[in-house]
Amino acid sequence: MIKTFIDKLLGKPIARSRKNPFGKREELPASVHGINPELVDDRAIDVVRTLKNAGFEAYIVGGAVRDLLLGLRPKDFDVATNASPEEVKRLFRRAFIIGKRFRIVHVVYGRGREHEVIEVSTFRAFLDNSQAEQVSGNERTSKQQLMGMQHAVDASGRVLRDNVWGPQDQDATRRDFTINAMYYDPQSQVLVDFHKGIQDAHKRVLRMIGDPEQRYREDPVRIIRAVRFGAKLAHLGFKLEAKTAKPLVACEPLLHDVPQSRLFDEMLKLLLTGHATASIEQLQKLGLAKGIYPLLDVVVERAATPLVQAVLQDTDRRVAEGKTCVPSFLLACVLWQDVQAGWQQRLNNGAHSFPALQDAIDEVFERRIGDVSGRGKLAADMREIWAMQPRFDKRTGATPFSLVAQGRFRAGFDFLRLRADVGDADEALANWWQLFQYADEAQREDLIAQARDEQRQRQKTQKPKAARKPKADDDGSASPLEAAGVQAGEEGDAPAKKRRRRRKKSVGETTSPAQE
């Protein structure tokens, strides 16, 4: 106290206690947080129990805790622990360490389509070089990890690696939003909160932990996550805090340094998690409608067109019903406009239909999608969906049977159905295929006969008049089509070939080599 008085007289600055940058730990019982334990997945409980029985700390963390607080049943469960990935892997029979930039463990339960994955991550240190001294005090942080820590952040502040283990309070701080930084122990039913996340959940506020601009620099993808969470929780009344939203537009150029494959994956999360329409609205509202990712720019630009609007709404509906949605179908709808334009242009230049379509598809992939992770499978699926569209016009012979037997038929038909709903394809054609795919053998034959009769009727109504001698134009020459022997209404068809009758050979007559 005397020293403080002397320092004040001499004009020296008084040392003030710094606020703990990692927040204050609060443990809230079930009577306060009100989480319904029946909403917690049994397999997530098993993972937590196994880790705790082995002497480690373990909690359900992230979006699952947020949903539980809101009274929702989470679709996915993540677990955070102070066990290293290798220690976690040894405790479970079916566990796999994945990732390089972020090493995590997937614990797998069940098999086939019914399998479930619980993602287990190790508590990580807050990667701020100014906190290196504090991180070094953690006994579970190795010397090798500390040496690599100085190279984990680039010149712009972007985190390049995040595999430095640390205590739980730092793990909470390195997460993005306060409502995603809470930890729940399903055994003791205690909720651990470091950053007033439960208060923000009750206030319906999305607030970034720490300084928003700095956090966006650490990982620019948080810009997209802010949009996604804002869209996902908008129907529950959540809004982005003004301080969190303010630097979004200014920090958008930071996304140019993010790998294209990662941006592609984040774009798919925006569009395929059940809030596609709301995500587009959030992008427009926040001033981020253009510049995040070229293909996303196309989606936003065409969101109001009938086909794209229909597929976005249909995707949200399917997710709400628990059905699967694949990116190939959605992107096929978004880029169909480009394929049609390129296809028609090549047909106008005299190219044959099928090669023209394939060339148009190739051009769209090079120009719109580029080189991204998983492009091979994505390209194959989209190519089949597009290439199937002209084949739907052929409803006679063996074509309908071979087409309906293809593995991607359902996706191709759904695309046709959606096109018909918005007036881009014939409604009667879509109805015919709707009946054909579920009909028995006899009904299919009847449908094909019906299609054949319709085709003959069209041919009769379009049948040209009898062939006549080419009529000379005003300048005395015949018109190009008539001179080529093409009848009216048959432009582009080759002239009919005349049959030659073979003359019967008389007895003893021989055939010359030229005639054979």
- Is 67 catalytic? The answer is no
14: left (phi over 0), alpha (psi -120 to 50) or beta: beta
Q: Measured over all CA atoms, what is the biggest interatomic distance in the chain, rounded to whole angstroms?
A: 142
Both tokens of residue 468? 């006549």
The CA R_g of the chain, rounded to the nearest whole Å, is: 33
Tokens 């990692």, located at residue: 22
What's the confidence (pLDDT) of residue 112? 74
Name residues whose C-beta falls within 8 Å of residue 106's C-beta, 6 or more positions apart in sequence. Answer: 95, 96, 98, 117, 118, 119, 120
Torsion over CA: 231, 270, 153, 246 (sign): negative
Taking the CA atoms of residue 211, residue 215, residue 218 and residue 224 in that order, the dihedral angle to the nearest 10 degrees is -160
Class of domain 327-459: mainly alpha
pTM for the structure as a whole: 0.76
- Is 169 catalytic? The answer is no
Query: Which residues of the chain are modeled with pLDDT < 70?
Result: 1-20, 127-163, 371-375, 463-516
Q: Which residue out of 41, 67, 176, 338 is catalytically annotated? A: 176
Q: Which residue out of 46, 76, 359, 414 is catalytically annotated? A: 76
Q: Does residue 387 contact residue 357 with C-beta atoms inside 8 Å?
A: yes
Class of domain 19-123+167-203: alpha beta
- Is 78 catalytic? The answer is yes
d(CA 179, CA 199): 9
- In the chain, which residues fall in CATH 1.10.3090.10? 204-318, 327-459
Q: Does residue 114 contact residue 82 with C-beta atoms inside 8 Å?
A: no
What's the confidence (pLDDT) of residue 501? 47
Class of domain 204-318: mainly alpha
Q: Which residue out of 67, 78, 162, 316 is catalytically annotated? A: 78
What's the confidence (pLDDT) of residue 378? 83
Encode pLDDT of 234-267 as tens digits.
989 999 999 999 999 999 999 999 988 889 999 9
What's the confidence (pLDDT) of residue 388? 95
Name residues whose C-beta falls within 8 Å of residue 278's C-beta, 6 or more positions apart in sequence. Answer: 231, 232, 234, 235
Encode pLDDT of 24-81 as tens digits.
899 999 999 999 999 999 999 999 999 999 999 999 999 999 999 999 999 899 999 9
Identify the H or E element spanning 460. helix 441-461
d(CA 412, CA 102): 37
- In the chain, which residues fall in CATH 3.30.460.10? 19-123+167-203
